[in-house]
Structures are given as C-alpha cells and as structure tokens.
Amino acid sequence: MKKIVELKNVSKSFDGELVLDHINLDIYDNEFLTLLGPSGCGKTTTLRIIGGFETADEGEVIFMGEEIGDVPPHKRNVNTVFQRYALFPHLNVFENVAFPLREKKVPKAEIEQRVGEMIKLVALTGFEKRSVTSLSGGQQQRVAIARALVGRPKVLLLDEPLAALDLKLRKDMQQELKNIQKATGITFIFVTHDQEEALSMSDTVVVMSEGRIQQIGTPIDIYNEPKNAFVADFIGESNILDGVMLRDRKVSFSGHLFDCVDEGFAPREPVDVVVRPEDVDIVAPEKGMLQGTVTSVTFLGVHYEIIVDIDGFKWMIQTTDFVDVDEHIGLYIEPDAIHIMKKSEYSGMFGDYSSYSMELDEIGELEQIEELGELTEEPVEEAKEAESEA
Amino acid sequence: MKTASKIYTGLVMLFLFAPIAILLVFSFNDSKSLSVFSEFSLHWYRELFRDSETLGAVRNTLVLAVCAALLSTAMGTAAAVGIHKLKSRYMRAVMDTVTNIPMINPDIITGISLMLMFVFVGRLFGAATSLNFATMLIAHITFCLPYVILQVLPKLQQMDKALPEAAMDLGCTPMRAFLKVEVPEIMPGIVTGLIMAFTLSLDDFVISYFTSGNGFQTLPIRIYNMTKKTVTPKMYALATIIFFVILFLLLLSNLTDADTVQAVRTAREKKKAKNKA
C-alpha cells in the first residue's frame, strides 16, 4: 500500500502548552483512518496541521512524498469537512458545492456536470436552489461533504462532522460516509471522541491522549488487544487489575491463578490485566474462580450491567442472567478472555468501577444539557408571546 | 394601567414628532408669520432653490459626506478586520478604548484639538491658511471611523471563524477568501456603517465649524450663519427636505440589517414551502 500522508516527529504547542508531542503517523491511500481521543488530546490539531491551518513547531508533514509544512491550505490537495459545516450562507446549495470549481476556473459545462454528480452522491437532488440556511443539520452536513469532495482531493479531513447531529441521524450518516469513502476511493481522516463511531467506520483507529499516540490498529485489534490501561478504558468498558505474570500463559490476580493465552513477559513481571465485562460468566459461588457480592444492578435492555465487589475491587459485568443486589456469586473467566498489558503511566488510573454510578458519560451529559436548554427555551418564548399579546 | 401606558406613549410621540410636524406645516405657509397659517404655498421652497449660496453649501455638504462616508467605511472595515485578528486580549482592549475615544469625547474638544493640529502643522510647512476641504474631510473621517468599526466588528465576531478557513481549504488565497466569503457575511455591517457615517457627516456642526475655512461652507454652518440675522421660513423648507432624506436613509439602514434580512428571507421561504404543499 502507498503512503499518502506521513507525519514525522510532529510537535506543536499553544501558549507554551504542548498539544502534540512528537507524533509519528503513516496514512495509506484509500484508507478510512480515525483519530480517536478525549477532548484536548491533540486530534483536531493533528488534522489542522494536515489541512494547513496550523504549522508544526517541529517535525515534517509529508504528502505524497513531498514535504508540505509551508504550503498554504489552498495549494494542498486536501479538503476539509468542518465541525459546524462552515457552509457559505450567502450562496445556495448548488453554488456552495460549485465554489471550489469556480475558484479553479473550471468550464461551466463541467461545473454543472460535476456538481450534479456530487449532489446526487449525497442524495440532495432537487435541493440545488435552496438556501443552505433553510436546510436541516443532516442536509447541511451532506452539502459540506459534497463541497469538500467535488474538487477530487486525495485526502478528505473530517473534524467531528457528526457531533452536531442527533443519534439516529448520526448512525445513518456513519453508514453513508463509509459508503461514500468506498465509492470514491479517497482517503478519509476522521476525528472523533466517540469510540463506537470510530470502531464501526474505520479501517485504522489511532487512539490519542495528551498529545501522544497511544495505539494504532484495526478496530478489532484496538478492542481486543489494547496496549495500555488508557486504551482499554477509553475503548469500551474494561475491568483493569494489577497482576503478576508467573510464567508464559499463567497470570495471577485477585488472589487466584488463571490460565491465559499471553506469552513473552519476564517471569514474575507485574502487569495490567484486562477483562471485558461481557467476557465474565456468572456461576454458583463454589464453582467460581472468584467470589463476590453484587452491589448494583442496572437494566440496559440488551443486558444487565452489574457491579460486583471482589475483595474491595469493583468489577463490571454484563450479563443476560438476572442476579439480585447482595447476592453472593462466583465468576468464571475463560483463558482467552484475559488480556495482559505491560505496565504504563496509565496503570492504576482506570478500570475500577467503584465510582461508576457517579460517572457521567461525556456525550450523554452534553445531550442532557442540550435537551434541558430546549425545554427551558420554549416556555420562555411562550411567556414572551403571551406577554406581547397582552 | 392600559390607559396610562397609552397616554404615556402618546406624550412621547407628541414630543418627538410635534416639532417636526410644526416645521413641516409652516414650511408650506405663504406668509412669514409663525402664528398664523395663512395659505398653502411652495413659496419658501422656491425661495430656497433660488438661494445659490445655500445650494452651494448643500452641494459642499453632500460632497463632503459622500467622501467621508466612503473613506471612513473603507478604513473602518480594514480596522475592524485588523482588530478582529488580534490575538492578544490586552491589545484588543487597547484598540477598543482607542476606538471609543472619539465617540465619547465631546465634539467641541475634538473640534478644537483638530483645528489646533491643522493650524500647527500648516504653520510648520509655512502655509498661511491651512483650513480647507481636506482638513474638514480628515476631521469627518476621524469622527465617523469609530461608528463604522462598531458596526463591522460585531458582524466579524458573529461570523463562523471556520468560514474563511473553508474558503482557503477550497482553493482561495487569503485575500480572495476575504472578498468572496467574509465581505458578503459582514456586508450588512458595512452598509449600516456607511449610512451612519454619511448621516453623521451630514449632520455635524461643531467639529465642522472649527475645521472649516477658506470659504468652504457646509449646510449646518450656512444655517448657523443665517440664523445670526433672521430666520426665514426658507430654513423650514430646507429642514423639512433634510428630515425626509434622513428618514429615508434610516429606513434603508434598518432594512439592510441582517436580522431583518434574515426574517424576510425565512418568511419568504416558509411561504414558498407552503405553496409547494
């Protein structure tokens, strides 16, 4: 496979604060690559450096074999879909999509044809003459994608393009983006903080934290073989425990010796052990490898999410069997459900569910606030109307 | 409560518009009397248009206002863009303050200080009379500039800062991105600024009085000079005409305001959608 973008030792700081810390990343032709991480991890800055809106303090940005660190955005064969779309409000749908072609002085007939094709690709036929301000969020998103693709860039950068859409629309757009990427064969670099989005769409996921790349891999690799506690915690739910690797395929944690499938650690090496909540079986206490007491049960539709206290460490387990709070249960874990990681700076920071009930999902929180906003806005409007009528 | 509020509104309206109404009525009075309306006539309007000195002053005022409005709009827009681009919060505060000074400064102080400066610089280069059209134009630009900046800057701040980036991303040089994308976005501010600068320049007396010279006379100064003798109803006719010109400009400025434009646009689209359905 051909490398299309290479970042070599790229660093960037804002006001003396290091945002990117010596990033090395190869992006291949025709790939759907996602930069995934919490806010402030440097993913958007990475994207903006590739787009040409920021200049790296250190390191090289190589595009198709050429260093482009000093090339301004309008001379790069890269286009961007912005977070809030950045459509031009004074132009209609057709003119927005035609904008880059008009700038390049493409002949009129060709503009008509190419814009028509793009509008068809994003399923907006019939909307050509509409003002972009009159479109819904999803439709504006499509215009932004068509506008970014019409100039046939080598690489499309997408900066959290689905963040402003509601959940259902977001799911549809995920599928559609994936289809567009396959149909056009253009390399997509997608930035998101939503791990589900990253896993479902990408060929390659790059997990970032604190300006550093934590892991690069396929979605399956990232989920099944996380490199450190940060990745294990950020992607899905994980119980992360302190363990000791006694020898190949034997690990001890929570006071019990387990069979596992990992090899290549030093004898008696301290390690982080990851067990996914869905990989734990609940059995009778006497049959379990570990025994504990259920402290909370949450019904989530597909399964129950239960928290089990085992010698002070709170495990999260997802199960379809019902158990009651205060019930004494046994846990059974298959050898291939145990994943061993080397100790890292993130060891001990994640993976215990003691404070889980207080933890609020970042996105869930935002949505809640938005909903609250809508709820409070309307009565105010109504009150105003009532007042003006009186 | 309701009747009270109606009476109050009525009073406000009365005090706002009664003087103008009286002016308007008496400008059509045949006689010179301020107490008796004898007969409707256009006599004073005819008189006015026969007064070549006043008409010259009108022409001067318009030329000055157009020049001052255009130049201050161009300079003010450029200044607003510059201030908007400032990264340091401290520098921005400094620029805001500097911008506001000519607005809060009493006109008389601005006028005297400008006059002093013009005379001083003129003497420095050995000119006998240094006050003329150019000095007045500079003075007018000086006091119009902050109003233009104050109209344009909020439009820049309201604009999605990704818009110029998107334009550059799609092949525009920074300059073209400004002209093709930013200017259309801030146009309502530019137009309002232009109209404001025009009316301010048209209206100004105090600063003009101090900075005019060399036989260059604007309308407010001409009127002032005339009132030193006796006020003829010719002036009512002139004032009536000016009032309606300003009223027209005010309406124009309100109509170009972004919110109004937006409201009209959405209303139109709703109508269209309804027609389709």
Please give the structure tokens belonging to residue A218.
């396929």
Q: Are A77 and A63 spatial neighbours (Cβ–Cβ below 8 Å)?
A: yes
Question: Which chain B residues are Cβ-neighbours of A74 within 8 angstroms?
Answer: 168-173
State how far residue A215 is from chain B, nearest Cα, in angstroms: 29
The rounded distance, in Å, linking the Cα atoms of B129 and B213 is 8
Are residues B185 and A89, on separate chains, in Cβ contact within 8 Å?
yes
Among A224, A257, A282, the domain-final residue is A224
Task: Pick the residue of B169, B186, B259, B272 with the most A CBs within 10 A to test the interface with A by mutation.
Answer: B169
Taking only residues 32 to 61 of chain A, the set having a beta carbon closer than 8 angstroms to any beta carbon of chain B reads 51-53
**With contacts defined as CB-CB under 8 Å, which chain A residues touch B166?**
80, 82, 86-88
Residue A80 with chain B: CB contacts under 8 Å? 165-166, 169
- Tell me the pLDDT band of B64, cut-offs 50, 70 and 90: very high
The C-alpha of A300 sits at a distance from chain B's nearest C-alpha, in angstroms, of 39
Average pLDDT, chain B: 86
Q: Does residue A360 carry a pLDDT above 80?
A: no
Any domain includes A369: yes
- Check whether residue A166 and residue A66 sit in a common domain: yes
B158 CB within 8 Å of a chain A CB: no
Question: Per the domain annotation, does A234 fall within a domain?
Answer: no
d(CA A38, CA B36): 81
Same domain, A71 and A145: yes
Euclidean distance between CA atoms A358 and A354, whole angstroms: 9
Between chains, do A103 and B172 touch, taking CB under 8 Å as contact?
yes
Query: Which domains, ranges and CATH numbers included, belong to chain B?
Result: 52-231 (1.10.3720.10)
Who's near B247: CB < 8 A, 6+ residues apart? none
Residue A124's nearest CA partner among A174, A162, A176 is A176
Probe site for chain B from A54, A79, A87, A88 (most B CB atoms < 10 A):
A88
User: Does one domain contain both A166 and A267?
Assistant: no
Assess contact for A245 and A340: CB atoms under 8 A: yes
- Please tell me which residue, A373 or B264, carries the higher pLDDT value: B264
Residues A212, A190 share a domain = yes
ipTM: 0.77
* B152-188: pLDDT as tens digits: 999 999 999 899 999 999 999 999 999 999 999 999 8
pLDDT of residue A381: 44
Strands A313-319 and A328-333: unpaired
Model confidence pLDDT, tens digit, residues B81-111: 999 988 888 998 998 898 888 888 898 999 9
A117 in a structural domain: yes
Residues of A in contact with B167 (CB under 8 A): 88, 99
- CATH code, A295: 2.40.50.140
The dihedrals phi and psi of A52, each to the nearest 5 degrees, come to 95, 5
Question: Across the interface, do A88 and B184 touch by the CB < 8 Å criterion?
Answer: yes
Q: Which residues make Cβ contacts (< 8 Å) with residue A345, sequence separation at least 6?
A: none
What mean pLDDT comes out for the span B213-236? Answer: 81
Whether A147 contacts chain B with CB within 8 A: yes
Task: Determine the distance in angstroms separating the CA of A75 from the nearest CA of chain B, rounded to an integer.
Answer: 7
* Same-domain check for residues A150 and A110: yes
- How far is B37 from B31, CA to CA, in rounded Å? 7
Nearest CA in chain A to B267: A134
Given a contact cutoff of 8 angstroms between Cβ atoms, the answer to whether A118 and A184 are in contact is no
Q: pLDDT digits over A87-109, tens only?
A: 999 999 999 999 999 999 999 99
**A349-358 pLDDT tens trace:** 887 777 654 4
Co-location of A310 and A375 in the same domain: no
Interface of A with B in 185-224 (CB under 8 A): none
Q: What DSSP character marks residue A10?
A: E
Residue type, A39: S
Phi-psi region of A303 (alpha: psi -120 to 50; beta: other; left: phi over 0): beta
The length of chain B, given as a count of residues? 277
**Chain B contact present for A92, CB below 8 A:** no
What's the domain range around A117? 3-224
Q: Are residues A11 and A95 in the same domain?
A: yes
The reply to whether A307 falls in a domain is yes
Where does a domain end: A193, A224, A255?
A: A224
Q: Are residues A126 and A201 in the same domain?
A: yes
- In whole angstroms, give the CA distance from residue A231 to residue B91: 42
Number of domains in chain A: 3
A49 and A98 inside one domain: yes
DSSP state of A75: G
Of A53, A74, A134, the CB nearest to B173: A74
Nearest CB partner across the interface for A73, out of B168, B181, B184: B168
